[in-house]
Structure 1
Amino acid sequence: MNAIRNVLALGIATALLAACGGGADTAVDTAPSPPAETAPPAVAETPAPAAVGEGAFVVAELARFDYPWAMTFLPDGRLLVTQMSGELKLYDPSGNTSGDIGGVPQVTHVAQGGLGDVVLHPHYADNQWVYLSYVETDETGLGAVVARAKLALDDAGGGKLQDLETIWRQTPKKSGDGHFGYRIAFDAEGKLWISSSERKEFDPAQDLGTNLGKILRLNDDGTPAEGNPFADQGGVAAQVWTLGHRNILGMAFDAEGRLWAHEMGPKGGDELNLIVKGENYGYPLVSNGNHYDDTPIPDHATRPEFRAPVVSWTPVISPAGFMIYDGGLFPEWNGNGFIGGMSSMSLVRIAFGGETASEAQRFDMQRRIREVEQGPDGAIWLLEDGTRKGKGWLMRLTPPQA
């Protein structure tokens, strides 16, 4: 292993690629995938990046994946990792080995979309349901889909998805290759939450005749959940919990059951929002950023009827991935959120205070961070975005003494 050192420094936020705005996840994912590796690389440990104050960590580079997008831990400690081009990998940290999961549905891989999120049903130990989001194509265009299947593991380090069923679709489908969102989360009551971005179409975010630009609350079979605020309107409006969103790439529940979600702003104005039933978050009528051609968008402060973000970033961080920590390895961070930054090449720590939040610390990772998860042992796991430089590293963050 390489030498390990831990760095404590000022860690003041750098304004990398500020001119790209929150939409720095656009039109960059078109490079061909590099050749597959024949075996996982050896674990490499690198210095922790610059940090503010306490809590520097060791970064272990474990394995590389093609176009990685999301990951989730199985009860036995192994990881499911999605690759945007349509592969679902089973990674075993104990042996640093990676196998394939078969039965993945046909996926359309475009600039910002492909095989996306992966989560387990809250009762996975009993039902083996795994939920996937991905992009599909038909004669009307592209759209995000959520499907579920039973995961059957084998003794050779792989497995297969069985009994696959599609339970939700973005509607209508659109042309274009961006702003799918398609993050998935379950709450403590077993309700399924899906982020559905506005596909670079602006106006659908305000239209309850479409589920674009919305956060949705469903039963685990994809049907609208009872108690949704627009249920009396029927159709896709019955799925909707909140509207007026742009490009939502992270959702997480805190210990009190509050849902927090971040989204990329346009040219400036990335947001962290507290998600409240029936609220309208204003896009594209208001934003703390402007359009890419510098056409102004009125700020949130000009339209108090829309719910304003709790935190807004200009220069942007280009947020992706989100978890709220409750582990034992970093006790000083319990209850804190962690957001990956892509154009900012950072890991951003969020301190919460009830319904308020603020950026507490920023780690300069010197790479685009796509996904953040907490491991069973309390380590923080990251996926490096693989869209600009080929493969992306899977990394594990632990305290210096761990």
Structure 2
Amino acid sequence: MYRAFATLSAACLYVMLIASFTTSAWAGVVAKKVAEGFYVPWSIGFLPDGAILVTDRDGELWRIDSQGAKTQISGLPQVVAKGQGGLLDVLIPRDFERTRHLFLSYSAQQGRGSGTAIVRAQLKPEATQLTGVKQIFQMTRGSSGGRHFGGRMVEAPDGTLFLTVGERGDRPSAQDLRRHNGSVIRINPDGSVPADNPFTGHAGIAPEIWSYGHRNPQGAALDGSGQLWVNEHGARGGDEVNRIHKGANYGWPVIAYGRHYTGLKIGEGTAKPGMEQPEHYWDPSIAPSGMTFYDGDLFPDWRGDAFVGSLKFDYIARLSGDPLREVQQIKLPQTLRVRDIRTGPDGAIWFLSEGQGALYRLVPD
């Protein structure tokens, strides 16, 4: 499995977070509050020393220690916190303990507009400030407004980075290979383009693109085989879970399983030759967010299943089988607007409740 730093020593430190926090049980599980007081918490990252990083969309990065105490980390890039944009994902790569490099996705200023970008930075032991901050990717310019940034990052088994990029509300751009809008991009950790990307060397095509035809993908994760999966927001209905293939077109806005918010039909229907079908879709929409494939030991019956947070109906969806289908809804008082969900080194399922402004840890009751 490809989750970073799942070491015994780190797991022991995470267990220390259990004590003295609010709990609530449902259907054989219990949610324990680890930290609170966030504005719009967006992403979770696990450090090898047992601490946790949490991003807040308004431009704050927090370190949570083994006692649950919060320390703000400074030195972030200039973030445009507007609408759905701001400080988004944090990715702690497998070689962090050696390099001290981490990656942050965010909405960066682009003239009068803004666009999804990535910086690489160093966080040294016990430091409260990022150093060596360098932007390694920025989507093509030309978008305005405050929606559909995407922003979820995943480290591939080969060490390259995937980033989801929304179409920024510009629907036709998701089919325009000259632009990054509505795509999953793949880059090397230094920002260069891998030689085996599907469009490397093709004139007039953005070479970072790995797949395209996406609307607003806000969840991404690897399964146990290293396969990349993405979930994305539809319009009125048609939220999707997609198995991502190299160079594939996922259809937006030509095909979709939902309708426009006005009730009008989207594109040409639900299928077209040369365009991929979703593995699973929701109608009505659940507004899917973070995603994880569970590979821990605390819930052996869930091993290999996918978990997706819902921002609309305030639950965690469990998906299982081949093809993936929703088989369970885990809903607790704390699951109000689940923004991110991760499998922790301790085998627990960790999630951020945007509505509660808090970080929780899900364990067996």
TM over 0.5: yes
Q: Which amino acid aligns with 2:69?
A: T
**Alignment correspondent of 1:76:** 49
Alpha-carbon contact 1:80-1:91 (below 8 Å) kept: yes
Which runs of 5 or more structure 1 residues have no equivalent in the other structure?
A: 1-41
Q: Separation in 2 of the partners of 1:112 and 1:363?
A: 25
Say whether 1:172 aligns with 2:141: yes
The TM-score normalised by the length of structure 1 is: 0.82
**Alignment correspondent of 1:196:** 165
Say whether 1:272 aligns with 2:241: yes
Q: Which amino acid aligns with 1:372?
A: I
Say whether 1:116 aligns with 2:94: no
Residue aligned with 1:232, SS: coil
1:51-87 CA-partner distances (Å, limit 9, x unpaired): 5xxxx20011222112111011001111000011111
Q: Separation in 2 of the partners of 1:112 and 1:397?
A: 27
Residue aligned with 1:372, SS: strand
After TM superposition, list the pairs within 5 Å mapping 1:359-370 onto structure 2: 359-366=326-333, 367-370=336-339
Q: Separation in 2 of the partners of 1:352 and 1:212?
A: 31
Q: Which amino acid aligns with 2:24?
A: T
How far did residue 317 of structure 1 move?
1.2
The TM-score normalised by the length of structure 2 is: 0.91
Residue aligned with 1:108, SS: coil
**Alignment correspondent of 1:129:** 101
1:324-370 CA-partner distances (Å, limit 9, x unpaired): 111111111111111000101110011143xx211121112351100
How far did residue 110 of structure 1 move?
1.1
Distance 1:234 1:365, change over 3 A: farther
Q: Separation in 1 of the partners of 2:311 and 2:74?
A: 30
Residue aligned with 1:204, SS: helix
Q: Separation in 2 of the partners of 1:126 and 1:264?
A: 36
Q: 1:385 aligns with which of 351, 354, 357?
A: 354
Residue aligned with 2:88, SS: strand
Distance 1:210 1:298, change over 3 A: closer
Distance 1:376 1:180, change over 3 A: same
- Aligned residue pair count: 343
Q: Separation in 2 of the partners of 1:299 and 1:342?
A: 28
Q: Which amino acid aligns with 1:43?
A: F
Q: 2:113 aligns with which of 141, 149, 154?
A: 141
1:190-238 CA-partner distances (Å, limit 9, x unpaired): 0110101100110110001101100111111111112111123246521
How far did residue 393 of structure 1 move?
1.5
Considering only aligned residues, what root-mean-square deviation do their CA atoms show, in Å? 1.5
How far did residue 392 of structure 1 move?
1.0
Alpha-carbon contact 1:335-1:352 (below 8 Å) kept: no
Say whether 1:98 aligns with 2:98: no
Alpha-carbon contact 1:300-1:308 (below 8 Å) kept: no
**Alignment correspondent of 1:17:** none
Q: Which amino acid aligns with 1:188?
A: P
Q: Separation in 2 of the partners of 1:79 and 1:273?
A: 28
Q: Which amino acid aligns with 2:22?
A: A
Q: Separation in 2 of the partners of 1:144 and 1:301?
A: 28
Distance 1:363 1:300, change over 3 A: farther
Q: Separation in 1 of the partners of 2:229 and 2:321?
A: 10
Q: Which amino acid aligns with 2:140?
A: T
After TM superposition, list the pairs within 5 Å mapping 1:255-294 onto structure 2: 255-294=224-263
Q: Separation in 2 of the partners of 1:144 and 1:330?
A: 35
Q: Separation in 2 of the partners of 1:103 and 1:177?
A: 24
**Alignment correspondent of 1:245:** 214
Q: Separation in 2 of the partners of 1:267 and 1:376?
A: 36
Which runs of 5 or more structure 2 residues have no equivalent in the other structure?
A: 1-19
Alpha-carbon contact 1:113-1:180 (below 8 Å) kept: yes
After TM superposition, list the pairs within 5 Å mapping 1:212-361 onto structure 2: 212-234=181-203, 237-298=206-267, 301-353=270-322, 356-361=323-328
- If asked which structure has higher relative contact order (CA below 8 Å, sep 6+), I would say 1
Q: Separation in 1 of the partners of 2:138 and 2:295?
A: 32
1:238-280 CA-partner distances (Å, limit 9, x unpaired): 1111110000001111111211100000111000001011111
Alpha-carbon contact 1:46-1:61 (below 8 Å) kept: no
Distance 1:295 1:72, change over 3 A: same
Distance 1:235 1:164, change over 3 A: farther
Alpha-carbon contact 1:67-1:83 (below 8 Å) kept: yes
